[in-house]
Chains A and B, each alone.
Chain A
Amino acid sequence: MELLRTEHLTKTYGSGENAVHALNDVSFSIEKGEFVAIIGPSGSGKSTLLHVLGGVDKPTSGHVYMNGEDVYSRSDNALAIFRRREVGLIYQFYNLIPVLSVVENITLPVLMDGRKVNDERLHELLRTLQLEGREKHLPNQLSGGQQQRVSIARALMNAPSVVLADEPTGNLDSKNSQEIVELLKYSNKQYGQTLIVITHDESIALQAQRVIAIEDGRITRDEVLRK
């Protein structure tokens, strides 16, 4: 069953001679529960694509459909609710709220939705992401890798239907990296989540079911590795 579909997505920065086409006519579709890796050289438009998919960056033209519905035709409010319920976005640059502690940052989307925090899930995430004992710390008291793990926990906390991860292991050693990938894969299987991961790490890309390669804002390769 198709979950996500994009049609002729373009994102252009600037105009005239200085125009940068971060995305240039990108169309593809992704099945529910699929694990997709996006690869490409630096500056090729990977993060831009992920942001557009996550409903946080409006494309210059084209559409994103989620469950058949046009994401960017939603009202502002509906878009906000879509972001907190359906999408778990892990940013390349963590983007934690500086005045909130680790636990507060992680539970933010749940609280925002007005729901009760699932303590079991919270502790499971804290444990798996090795953040135990750090619950009350503020982001500026954490290492880069720890901050990245907090942002991963935040994305997973709400059990969203799509997890969008922008180099989630960029700051981690290979052992830790593998553990994170395992966590994401587990979540993907357990909850039937769709998982889209940007990575420079060959070994991670090879664990995906499908690899999309981007260069200069265009899809240059779209390869299904396994079903």
Chain B
Amino acid sequence: MNIFRSIAVSSMRRNRTRSIVTIIGVILSVAMFTAITTMGATLLNHLQRVAAYDHGTYYVAFNALPAQELDRMRKDTDVEMLTAGEILGYADLRADAALSPLYTYVLAMDETFPQEMPVHLTYGRLPQNAGEIILPEHLNAHLDTAYKVGDSLTLALGDRVMKDGAVLTQSDAIYEETLRVREMRTYSVVGIYERPDFEGYDDPGYTALTVADGSAGSGVYDAYARTSYSDYDRIQEFYERYHAASTTVNGNYLMTQGSFRYENYDSFVGMFAGILIFLIMLGAVSLIYSAFSISVSERTRQFGLLASVGATRKQLHRTVLYEAGVVFLIGAPLGLLAGVGGIYLTLQLLREQFLSMFGYGITLQFHVSAASLLIAAAVGLLTVLISAVIPARRAMRVTAIEAIRQSRDVKVSKRDIADGKLAYRLFGLPGMLSKKYFRRSRKKYRATIVSLAMSVVLFVSASTYAMYLTETVEVSTERYPFDLAYALDEITPEKLDELTRELQADANIDTLRYASFASIGVDMHDEDYSAGFKQYAKHALEVADYDPRQVASQNATIVYADAQTFAELLKDAGLTREEYDKVGGGILKAGNINEVYYNRDGDRRYVYNGSVLDSAVRELTIIIPETPDGYQYTHSARRMEADGEVLVSYYWSNDGGEELVLPAVTQQSSIAGKTDLNPIGANDRIVLFMPFRDAQAGSMVQLLLNCKDADAAAKSLETGIRKLGLEYDSSAVHNPASQKRDEMNALTIVQVFSYGFIILISLICVANVFNTVSTNVATRRRDFAMLRSVGMTRGGLNRMMNYECILYGLRALLLGLPLTALLAWLMHNASGEIYSSEKFVSIPALLIAVCSVFAVVFASMMYAMRKIKKDNPVDALKAENT
């Protein structure tokens, strides 16, 4: 072995602890890089599979491609995959010729079609011969009587032909065409499948699929091809070679192949991973860097000696690089393994959460790619090289004699002179000595302090961030007092009665409430406002620069609650039915405003958490909007007009853009009582509860259900509604429970990953601290022996080291806490816009961080000192002389 290599190896052996810690550092950082890249690969793979599932694996779709073109394409070497369906033609499913046609568009699939294309059965099976057919769900939805598996279906198949003889395709909308029937075919329905993605939303025919039987059809095909390249320009060049009625590029699938239509597409995932990798690299570099820099500076003396007997810089440089290489070769494979294993386990453990987050029919599957491992290893290598080369460069700049004397490591600074007096008074000689060590070999301490401070910053700010996230999710989901809601359009009171009776009896539904909502305005007078709100309005409105008169009116909601719910509210307000009937009006629920605002200069932050209304208000001037058709009420306000101030209501047209202003009509409504209950989940600043019978006829009714199993309840709801002959619209269902579950699951995932990240980064920092502290102690072994030989007792030694630990900890906190505060402040400001947390940082995290700093330092010190204390002074003294 080369002499320099053997020097590197022997020095690594001699400093076993440090070498091991350095390797652990490499393992940890490579593991983290691997975790990120593996997670990225897994997500990308997931997206690819989802895209393939939803959109198919083709790049280009050719509509109405003639047979000879298809043959030509089959021979094209650029084509990696090609699947086609022969167009058998259109059939009109409407019996009544007077109505506009309802087409089904029949394709005869080739063998690979069902695998490559998004064909997903909901019932039955795929067709196996030319006599079998599957129909899309949305076709059934448009038919008066839906087809079921087992039905037989006779179709008059033909072409849509214009007067001038032109044949229309799927890319042509329905014109004044006629259907020229080519043949009659009878199919048996063997399956129902999901609306296919390859059919456009405005395509005239609903695609039914059968299989080709070899007999002659129209000779025209819908073909789907994937090229061996995914570059947009080349794909365009490819499809322009063929003549089809129209071509479509499958951008959704191409995107997951790394091909974007627009150059400046910012990959969010990539950016996120980049930031993470950068942070970890920072931590890792600081650890590995300090390990190498200690190793090098310790060996500066040795380097000096070698240089003085003729070693070139290059040779010395190589020694360090060789050491780095050894460390990397041992650490990297273990790190790769640990990272891959870690993500695998995490995915296993979070399976449930991921399923709910990506609620597709496709589960998230662990996926490792060679590229992801290579990237992780490369970043790891880069980290090690950066860490090794810089200290080596620095060491080379030192002259041989400087190196031998270590005159750069130990220096007196001007501030030293008076230094240590206080320490001497407080901690005696040991205190003074450690202070001197601290001051005069500052370089050695810097790494320790910086990595301690960095762990504090990372730990506290990441925990704070997680805290914000948690609170946001909790706040955003706790509003709904029901598990399932359904909006019923225009239902007669009789039918509503019937429905609610039916549903209340249903075992899947625990309680049922219903209500109608009306958006109203409230004309506010100065004395109606609470003092806190006035203060808020003064600041907020001045700053926000809108018309202060707008405050003159507030938006409010009237909730017309069902009899039982209203009775509960009356009871809570302390009223009997008779008492209420005498006064009328509504039961008020004044919602709390939780607003963050700033004063005019923006330098003071206020939080107002209270009601708009003064508690003494007994009567409200309400504005019931008279909304014209096609408009929506927005708000009311006082406006200056020729004949003085008038109260007006503003409306927006539903198709956007147009504002309508009408004079507002007010009416007095007394506040019969007050409640804090919110059984309906109304969130306005002012909510008035009134009995359901007061609701305007024909207004929309919200059904609010409490249930154990939201899916089962939704089924019951559907049957109930269908039974009444009403249309059931699945998009009118609102399911806060599953929404909350999804959000909590997403949160769990975020938390697991962020805490995993925090813990690993902290581990790196701990290793770093341990490393620097123990090396520091090791290099001072001789000094300790010396001190003992001139009579320092073991107790004195302990005191000295304790004092040093305190110095370390305080310094680290002195650096770390302001940085943490700064970061927390930035985060708090950023989140203040959307959520007004009064908490600034996560206090438990802060405490843990502060305690851990001292714990880590003291533990490292104790470990490092455990051998030194037993030293026979002379052995230690001799150790470094030879």
Contact = CB atoms under 8 A, between A and B. Distances in A.
Contacts of B782: 95
A99 B792 contact: no
Contact of B406 (A56, A81, A85, A98): A98
Given A93-B881, A140-B405, A104 B436 contact: yes
A203 interface: no
B791 A113 contact: yes
A114 interface: yes
Q: Which of B436, B440, B786 has the most CB of A within 10 A?
A: B786
Given A56-B873, A99-B410, A89 B789 contact: yes
A85 B783 CA distance: 19
Nearest to A104: B436
B791 A77 contact: no
Contacts, number: 87
Interface in A76-125: 76-77, 80-85, 89, 91, 93, 95-101, 104, 108-109, 111-114
A138 interface: yes
A141 B428 CA distance: 27
B794 interface: yes
B406 A138 contact: no
A81 B405 contact: no
A56 B874 contact: yes
Interface residues of A, number: 35
B298 to A, nearest CB: 13
B155 to A, nearest CB: 97
Contact of B877 (A95, A100, A112, A114): A95
B405 A80 contact: no
A51 interface: yes
A112 B790 contact: yes
A80 B792 contact: yes
A108 B790 contact: yes
A99 B437 contact: yes
Contacts of A95: 782, 786, 789, 877
B437 A77 contact: no
A81 B786 contact: no
A98 B783 contact: yes
A141 B407 CA distance: 8
Contacts of B181: none
A57 B793 contact: no
B251 interface: no
A46 to B, nearest CB: 13
A84 B791 contact: yes
B788 interface: yes
B794 A97 contact: no
Interface in A31-80: 51, 54, 56-58, 76-77, 80
B11 interface: no
A54 B788 CA distance: 12
Contacts of A140: 405-407, 410
B757 to A, nearest CB: 39
Given A81-B793, A99-B436, A57 B872 contact: yes
Contacts of B432: 111
Nearest to A160: B791
Contacts of B440: 99, 138
A154 to B, nearest CB: 7
A83 B790 contact: yes
A109 B796 CA distance: 13
A99 B791 contact: no
A98 B791 contact: no
B724 interface: no
Nearest to A76: B794
A221 to B, nearest CB: 26
B877 A91 contact: yes
A136 interface: yes
B429 interface: yes
Contacts of B787: 97, 108, 112
B795 interface: yes
A114 B428 contact: yes
Given A51-B874, A83-B790, A77 B795 contact: yes
Contacts of B794: 76-77, 80
B793 A77 contact: yes
Q: Which of B412, B429, B787, B791 has the most CB of A within 10 A?
A: B791
Contacts of B405: 140
A112 B436 contact: no
B790 A98 contact: no
Nearest to B787: A97
Contacts of B881: 93
Contacts of B791: 80-85, 109, 112-113
A136 B792 CA distance: 23
Contacts of A138: 410-412, 440
B441 interface: yes
Interface in B837-877: 872-875, 877
Nearest to A13: B875
Contact of B789 (A77, A81, A83, A100): A83
Contacts of B433: 100
B838 to A, nearest CB: 48
Interface string B777-813: 0000011001111111111100000000000000000
Q: Which of B405, B412, B440, B874 has the most CB of A within 10 A?
A: B874
B786 to A, nearest CB: 5
A93 B789 CA distance: 14
A73 B430 CA distance: 26
Given A56-B873, A58-B872, A101 B789 contact: no
Interface in A140-164: 140-141, 154
Contacts of A98: 406, 410, 783
B412 A112 contact: no
Contact of A97 (B429, B786, B875): B786
Nearest to B791: A84
Contacts of B796: 80, 112
A136 B412 contact: yes
A124 B437 CA distance: 28
A96 B785 CA distance: 11
Given A81-B793, A109-B791, A57 B786 contact: no
A122 B411 CA distance: 24
B777 to A, nearest CB: 14
Contacts of A113: 791
A13 to B, nearest CB: 10
A72 to B, nearest CB: 11
A56 B874 CA distance: 6
Contacts of A82: 791
Given A98-B410, A108-B787, 20 more contacts: A57-B874, A76-B794, A77-B793, A80-B792, A84-B791, A85-B791, A95-B782, A98-B783, A99-B410, A99-B436, A99-B440, A101-B412, A104-B436, A109-B790, A109-B791, A112-B787, A112-B791, A140-B405, A140-B410, A154-B790
Complex A-B, nearest 5 residue pairs according to Cβ-Cβ distance, in ascending order: A84-B791, A57-B874, A80-B793, A83-B791, A99-B440
9 contacts: A56-B873, A76-B794, A80-B792, A84-B792, A95-B789, A99-B437, A109-B791, A138-B411, A140-B407
